[in-house]
Chain A
Amino acid sequence: MTRGARLAVWALALTVVASIIVPALARRDPLAIEDVIARRLLPPLATNPDGGWHLLGTDRFGRDLFIRTLLAARISLFVGLAGSVLAGVLGVLIGAVSGWSGRAIDRALMSLTDTFLAIPRLVLLLLCVALWSPGLVTVVVVLAATGWMSVARLVRSEVQGLRHTAFVEGARALGTLEVRTLLRHVLPNALGPALVAVTLGVGNAILLESGLAFLGLGVQPPTPSWGNMIAGGRDIIVTAPWVALAPGLAVIATVLLCTVVGDAFHQRLLGHARPPVDP
């Protein structure tokens, strides 16, 4: 792994640890709203009347933005990871069944994949989120339901390639059960590209989650997420730009780190650099 990728892994780990520890150390309840007039919209590095110091300033309700950005990191990182991993699991299942069974089942599943791919992911996401009540669980489920297609295609072609290799034929000749052959001999060899896709999908899922929250269709306030924090700074962008600045920079940094780690993972697992655009 290159130095940059190692640094990125450490930075991500630091973010996770900080998001767990720092809000727990806060003296005041980070969600509580008190003394709004005196504390609201303090610029970064300002001190409040009680002598408390705000690294990133405060929002319109006088809540500390540094603590809230870290609290939001818990939600955003969880949603990104859970959404991408669940999408990966779904994709592996569908791709493996499709590539292994062939014929009618394969054709049906690939038609399903093509149909989902024919609607832009963002539109599909909005459609699903709109129909069920917004919230953390909905967002994760919907991210999984709209993100499995590329993984399914990758796994399918890997499984198809492995179906007629000597060791799979050998396992069959020994009378191994169909399911066991698929799970023990085929899938472990087909997982590489799927793992890379899942890693790279985390950043994408974080971006989409923040977008949904920004539109008011994702994680709902008062629970902070980077997207709804940016939405909270939207109409005061000219008078208090720091409210939307901190969560935005947090999204950019996290997505950037995820991409760097994903690229390194690609290089290591598949032996060559990731092409700039995934086919």
Chain B
Amino acid sequence: MTPTLRRAFESALLFWLVVTLTFCLVHLAPGDATDLLVPPGASAADIERLRSSFGLDAPMWQQYVRWTSRVLAGDLGTSFATGEAVGDVLRRALPITLGLGLVSLALTFLIGTAVGLWQAQHAGSRGDRLATTIGITLFAAPSFWLALALVAVFTYVASRSGWPVWLRLPAMGVETPASTLNGLARLSDIARHAVLPVTVLSLIGAAGLARYARATALELLHSDWVRTGRAKGLSSGAVMRRHVLANARPPLIVLLALSLPGTVAGSVFVESVFAWPGMGRTMLASIGARDYPVLMGVTLVYAAIVIVANWLSDVATVWADPRRRS
């Protein structure tokens, strides 16, 4: 078997295991969806009818076989709560979360690398120590608390102390409700709404990445080829770009790919605070309503993101590092 084929086979197997694990977890739990959906006065016969309409009365193994074969065929079932196809619910939520996550990751990379490299160049200075302290503090902060703090500053303080309009940022939703904006105007409205959520996610991400970038660059700065570069009279900028960044980039890109699932999952809190109707809010809503098909669907999408990210990190290693291409 070629490595690519083997890799694909392993990924498929892993996905099937996740499907099984999700099924086990959901069905091991006490109670089921009918507990919440039936009105208080429902008779036992009514409850039984509802259970059988969801297929919850079939033996466990039959439910498992039916669910697995349907999932592997791409059908995630219909929502218990709304009757909508789970695929449609996810198709609406996924772009919002992925957009938020990918924009944040891009900013994370830019800010994290820049700060980390600057710190490595000025290692031991007051600025370096300050940046390290800010970084580990941000890393220790709960994202939902940071989000609330930003809301307090950019909506409350901003309007109270008369900050310019572009600094008074909206704290709710993806865009202005019932707006009639089109094209560029709509895009800039969405961008304004995205500033605070993206800031929270990329600040926390950049704090982690900067720490790694600093350590990597510091190690590279002590290498022979950097000393040679300096000895032959290269400017410090050229040394940084050609000799340090070029070598630090591959591991940073791999790290970025591996942090995609964490960022996407971590947006649960940000989506909750800023009322973004993405995957996180969908998951929280399905938890509240005991909407098993949606809950399992969301979990599987997150697992798929992990598997894709692992694969991406493998590809990125080869792509970003010419030495690995053969």
In this complex, what residue of B is CB-closest to A145?
B25
**B25 touching A128, Cβ below 8 Å:** yes
Q: Assess A120 versus B140: contact at CB under 8 Å? Given A130-B287, A237-B152, A277-B255.
A: no
Please report the C-alpha to C-alpha distance between residue A111 and residue B18 in the assembled complex, in whole angstroms.
10
Which residues from chain A contact B268 at a C-beta distance below 8 Å?
122-123, 126, 215
In the assembled complex, how far is the CB of residue B223 from the closest CB belonging to chain A, in whole angstroms? 18
Cβ 8 A contact of B18, one of A118, A207, A238, A259: A118
- What number of A-B contacts does a CB cutoff of 8 Å give? 130
* Chain B interface, >50% SS class: helix
Give the chain A neighbours of B22 by CB distance below 8 A.
119, 127
- Contact yes or no, B299 A277, CB < 8 A: no
Please determine whether A118 and B14 come into contact, CB atoms closer than 8 angstroms: yes
Instruction: Select which of B14, B149, B287 is within 8 A of A126 by beta carbon.
Output: B287
Q: Which residues of A contact B212 (CB under 8 A)?
A: 276-277
In the bound complex, what is the Cα–Cα distance between A234 and B151 (angstroms)? Answer: 10
Flag if A248 contacts B142 (CB, 8 Å). Answer: yes
Residue A98, interface by CB 8 Å: no
Residues of chain B with a CB closer than 8 A to A207's CB: 140, 142
Which of B180-188, B189-197, B300-308 lies at the interface with chain A?
B300-308
A211 touches B142 (CB 8 A): yes
- Which interface class (under 10, 10 to 19, 20 to 34, 35 or more) fits B? 35 or more
Which of chain A's residues have a CB closer than 8 A to the CB of B28? 131
Q: How far is the CB of B61 from chain A (nearest CB, A)?
A: 19
Cβ < 8 Å to B, chain A residues 221-279? 227, 230, 233-234, 237-238, 241, 244, 248, 251-253, 255-256, 259, 275-277
The distance from the CB of B43 to the nearest CB of chain A, in whole angstroms, is 26
Partner of B148, one of A117, A123, A234: A234
Name the contact of B284 in the complex, choosing from A132, A203, A215, A237 (C-beta under 8 A): A215
For the complex, what is the distance from the CA of A163 to the CA of B103, rounded to whole Å?
Answer: 47
Docked-complex contact A215 and B272, CB < 8 angstroms: yes
Given B26, B155, B269, B302, which contacts A123 in the complex, CB threshold below 8 Å? Answer: B302
Q: Does B30 contact A (CB under 8 A)?
A: yes
Distance between Cα atoms of A57 and B21 in the complex (Å): 46
Residue of A nearest to B259 (CB): A277
Q: Which residues of A contact B136 (CB under 8 A)?
A: 256, 259
Q: Which of B211-237 contact A (CB under 8 A)?
A: 211-212, 214-215
Would A251 and B142 count as touching, CB distance under 8 A?
yes
A78 at the interface (CB under 8 A from B): no
- Asked if A259 and B140 make an inter-chain contact with CB atoms under 8 angstroms apart, the answer reads yes
- List A residues 90-139 near B (Cβ within 8 Å): 111, 114-124, 126-132
Q: Which residues of B contact A127 (CB under 8 A)?
A: 22, 25-26, 295, 299
B62 in the interface (beta carbon within 8 A): no
Interchain CB contact under 8 A, B302 and A252: no
With A217-B287, A275-B215: A211-B137 Cβ-Cβ less than 8 Å: no
The answer to whether the Cβ of A148 comes within 8 Å of any Cβ in the partner chain is no
Interface residue? A66 (CB, 8 A):
no
Q: How many residues of A contact B (CB 8 A)?
A: 44
A118–B269 touching, CB < 8 Å: no
Q: Quick check: A122 and B265 within 8 Å, CB to CB? A: yes
Q: Does B248 contact A (CB under 8 A)?
A: no
By the criterion CB–CB under 8 Å, are B14 and A119 in contact? no
What string of 1s and 0s marks CB contacts (under 8 Å) between B147-170 and chain A? 011011001100000000000000
The listed residue with most B CB atoms (<10 A of its CB), out of A124, A131, A256, is A131
Within 8 A of B (CB), among A203-220: 203, 207, 210-211, 214-215, 217
- Cβ distance B261 to chain A, nearest Cβ, rounded Å: 5
Complex CA distance for A116 and B283, rounded to whole angstroms: 18
CA gap between A275 and B216 in the complex, in Å: 10
Q: In whole angstroms, how far apart are the Cα atoms of A119 and B214 in the complex?
A: 29
A256 and B151 alpha carbons, distance in the complex (Å): 23
Tell me if B87 is interfacial: C-beta within 8 Å of chain A.
no
Chain B nearest CB, measured from A7 CB (Å): 14
| Contact present for A111 and B17 (CB under 8 Å) | yes
Residue pair B306, A118 in contact (C-beta under 8 Å): yes
- CB closest chain-A residue, reference B156: A238
Query: Could you tell me which B residues sit within 8 Å of A by CB distance?
Result: 14-15, 17-18, 20-22, 25-26, 28-30, 136-137, 139-145, 148-149, 151-152, 155-156, 208, 211-212, 214-215, 255, 261-262, 264-266, 268-269, 272-273, 283-284, 287, 290, 295, 298-299, 302-303, 306-307
Top 10 A-B pairs, shortest CB-CB distance = A131-B29, A120-B265, A130-B287, A255-B140, A248-B145, A238-B156, A115-B17, A276-B212, A276-B211, A256-B140
A sample of 15 more A-B contacts (CB under 8 A), given A123-B268, A252-B141, is A118-B15, A118-B303, A119-B18, A119-B303, A203-B140, A211-B143, A211-B269, A214-B144, A234-B148, A234-B273, A237-B151, A238-B151, A241-B156, A256-B140, A259-B136
